[in-house]
Each structure stands twice: as C-alpha cells, then as structure tokens.
Amino acid sequence: MSMAQQPLRAGVIGLGMMGRNHVRVWDESVPEADLVAVADTDASAVSAATAGRRARGHTDAGRMLAEEALDLVSIVAPTSLHCELTVAALEAGASVLVEKPIAATRDEGHRMVEAARASGRMLTVGHIERFNPAIRELKRRLAAGELGRVFQISATRLGPFPARIRDVGVVVDLAPHDIDVFRYLIGSEPIRLYAETEQRIHTEHEDLFNGIIKFANGVVGVLNINWLTPTKRRLLTVTGERGMYIADYIAQDLVFHANSDAAETWINRGAGAAITTVAEGEMTRRALRREEPLAVELREFARAVREGGPPPVDPADAMIALQLARLMVESARSGRAMVGEELLGAPS
Ligand SMILES: NC(=O)c1ccc[n+]([C@@H]2O[C@H](COP(=O)([O-])OP(=O)(O)OC[C@H]3O[C@@H](n4cnc5c(N)ncnc54)[C@H](O)[C@@H]3O)[C@@H](O)[C@H]2O)c1
C-alpha cells in the first residue's frame, strides 16, 4: 500500500450523546480512516466508548492530541468548549470537524477560523442536515427549477427538552441547522429578520422560538423551533409556483404536492407562460437512497482532507448561521426587527 493510501488517523473529543455516534461512524463507516483514539474528561464515558473497539481512550484531550498524531478530529464537546478544543487540535496538526453550532460566540468562531488558517489544516462544521439524502435530493430538484419561483421556506424542529444542554438556548443550539439549510437551498442572503422567544422550562435560556427571515430574492423563511414538544418533528417545507415540497429529516422522505395549474399552463399556454392560479394536484413521493447523514458527513470530511479539497461545509457559512441565530435572540430581546447592515455587524 502506498503512503497516500494509508488510512487517516481519526480521533473524537467529547463522548456524550452525539460523540458516541461519531465514534461508531468513524469506526464502522469511513473506509478512508481508522479511529485510533477518543477523549472525554469523564472516565466512564471513555470506557463506554472504547468497549469492544481498538481505539485508545484518554481522559485528557490535550494529551491525546500530543501523543496520537491524529489527522482528523471530531470535536463533540459542549458548544462553549468548541473554540478551545478546536484550536488545540489544529495546533497539534489535525484537521477538525467541529459539531454545530461552530461556537457559542462570534469571537470564538473567528479565533477558530484564524487558527485553521495559521495551521494550514482544514476546519469544517457538522451542519449535518446538508448531508441528509432528502435535503440533497431537494437541493438537486430546486436547482433544476422544478418548483419554478420559490415563495416560502419553512422549518419545523420540535422535540423534548434535552436536560444535558445547559450552555446555550434553543435558538443557538438548533436554529443554525435550519438557517444553514435555508441559505443552502435558497442561494440568497437575509435582508431582515424578526423573532419571538419564550423561556418556559429551561432555567437559564429560551426554549421556544418563532422567527421570520426575509431573503434578498423575496423568499420568506419561517422557523418554528422548541424544546417543549413531547415528540420529535423535523420537517422542511418549500412552496413555489409549481407546488410544494415537504422533506422529513427523520424518515428521510421527500414528498411533492403539484400545483395542478402549472401542468394546465404547460399544456394550454406553453412552458414559459405565467402561472396564475393554485389548485390541488397530484402528490408524489420521490425515490431516494437513504443513508445515515453522519456517515456521509464524516466520509466527505475524510475525502476532502485526503484530496486537499475545500471543506464540505465552509466555516464561513457556519459563522453566518451562528450570527443569524444570535441576531434572532437579540431581536426577541429588543422586540425589533434586525435589518440591512445589522445582519453583518452585530453582537458577539
Ligand atoms: N449535529 C447534530 O445533530 C447534533 C446533535 C446533538 C448535539 N450536537 C452538538 O454536539 C455537541 C455535544 O452535544 P451532546 O448532546 O453530545 O452533549 P453531551 O453533554 O451529551 O456530551 C458532551 C460530552 O463532552 C464531554 N466533555 C466536557 N468537557 C470536555 C473536555 N474538556 N474534553 C473532552 N470532553 C469533554 C462531557 O463529559 C460529555 O461526555 C454540542 O456542540 C451540540 O450542539 C450536534
């Protein structure tokens, strides 16, 4: 085997709810890499993660980075530690995939991007929804113009209260997923946003969030997110002149409801004619190949590092998602819409 084909050396920092998934996927679903080491300050999390695996366990992430010569590191510790651990991993010579949100504050995010630049290593962010087969298929179909003009995009992300997340509220924890997907699918930048939040159960942060984003191309984005619903719903709806798409992230389903007037217009008035009415049409479930989004994400990260390609998710996009989430919190606090230049300047 030539040098170039040797497996990359992968490690995971943070072995909690999400970190355990990174451990399993690196170990079992990424042919380009070997999981060689994992770290968590909690020794019981380390023994649970290494049981039945060849990876070495560490209770000190700094020591793991110094001893294991890692090429790839997943940072899956709480969000408030992303900056410190990411900078340490980059300085130790590893490329890093840090979980979303990139950091708790903009200043931390900037420090991470700067550390990646200085180290010459790759930094990417785990915006996992971009790797969901339903979203990939929807992106392909929107790019092909299947919906015609897009009018509205709407995200529903409801679920139970995660007692373990203490460092950030529901907006910074979850909205970056949907804000990133909106920008990824719509291909336009926000010009105005407004939010309402409530804190009903959480002791320190908001746990209910409704937000509206107006995009430069006229698309209206609607966010409905909370930690107060006793069942999980993860849906994305995109409405355009030819119909509506509904993507279900959990089931990895993509369903199309046609505007039957679009078909009428096509037949009777020609392809370029304006659609003037909306009428119920056929519903179609699009075929797609289901795959675990985290496996797609980590494989694309490993391949990008191996091939020297661009990061699968540009940290600049993750910074924008964090920035807009923080502006949502600010909008709710102040009771006013954020517009124009405020969307780029803004609170850290
Ligand atoms: N992409 C997704 O869908 C998704 C889902 C869940 C969580 N996340 C993200 O993953 C991160 C972790 O979330 P979680 O739900 O797994 O949290 P968690 O609390 O279950 O796990 C965090 C782990 O980090 C460990 N830890 C704390 N300090 C450490 C340190 N200095 N060094 C090493 N380990 C340390 C803790 O002991 C714990 O085991 C968060 O940033 C969260 O936003 C992403």
Tell me the per-residue pLDDT of 71-122, one tens digit each, with 9 for 90 and over. 999 999 999 999 999 999 999 999 999 999 999 999 999 999 999 999 999 9
Task: Output the domain CATH number for residue 112.
Answer: 3.40.50.720
Model pLDDT, residue 347: 43
Task: Output the domain CATH number for residue 211.
Answer: 3.30.360.10
pTM: 0.94
Is residue 218 located within the same domain as residue 88? no
Residue at 204 is within a domain: yes
DSSP secondary structure string, 107-168? HHHHHHHHHHHHHT--EEEE-GGGG-HHHHHHHHHHHTTTTSSEEEEEEEEE----TT--SS
Reported in sequence order, the residue ranges of the chain that DSSP labels E, i.e. its strands, are: 8-13, 33-39, 56-58, 72-75, 95-99, 123-126, 150-158, 190-198, 208-215, 220-226, 233-240, 243-248, 253-259, 280-285, 338-339
- How many whole angstroms from 172 Cα to the centroid of ligand 1? 14
In degrees and rounded to multiples of 5, residue 226 shows phi and psi of -155, 170
Q: What are the tens digits of pLDDT across the range 195-226?
A: 999 999 988 899 999 999 999 999 999 999 99
Residue at 211 is within a domain: yes
Range of the domain at 279: 130-291+325-338
β 8-13/33-39 pair status: parallel
At position 264, the amino acid (one-letter code) is: E
Q: Which residue shows structure tokens 């924890």?
A: 173
Is residue 147 located within the same domain as residue 104? no
The set of protein residues with a Cβ atom below 6 angstroms from ligand 1 is 13-19, 39-42, 45, 61, 76-79, 81, 99-100, 126, 128, 164, 173
| Distance of alpha carbon 308 from alpha carbon 18, whole angstroms | 27
Is residue 183 located within the same domain as residue 330? yes
Q: Are 156 and 232 a contacting pair, CB within 8 Å?
A: no
- Is the predicted pLDDT of residue 345 greater than 60, yes or no? no
| Distance of alpha carbon 167 from alpha carbon 220, whole angstroms | 30
Residue at 105 is within a domain: yes
At position 225, the amino acid (one-letter code) is: I
Mutate to test the pocket of ligand 1, among 12, 13, 15, 18 (most ligand atoms within 8 A of CB): 18
Half-sphere exposure of 97 (CA within 13 A, CB side): 27
In degrees and rounded to multiples of 5, residue 227 shows phi and psi of -110, 30
- How many whole angstroms from 97 Cα to the centroid of ligand 1? 13
Mutate to test the pocket of ligand 1, among 23, 40, 131, 294 (most ligand atoms within 8 A of CB): 40
Is residue 9 located within the same domain as residue 112? yes
Is residue 204 located within the same domain as residue 298? no
Residue at 347 is within a domain: no
From its phi and psi, is residue 291 left (phi > 0), alpha (psi between -120 and 50) or beta?
beta
From its phi and psi, is residue 110 left (phi > 0), alpha (psi between -120 and 50) or beta?
alpha
Q: Which residue has its alpha carbon closest to ligand 1 atom 25?
A: 14
- Is the predicted pLDDT of residue 346 greater than 60, yes or no? no
| Distance of alpha carbon 293 from alpha carbon 303, whole angstroms | 15
β 33-39/56-58 pair status: parallel
Domain count, the chain: 2
Is residue 48 located within the same domain as residue 117? yes
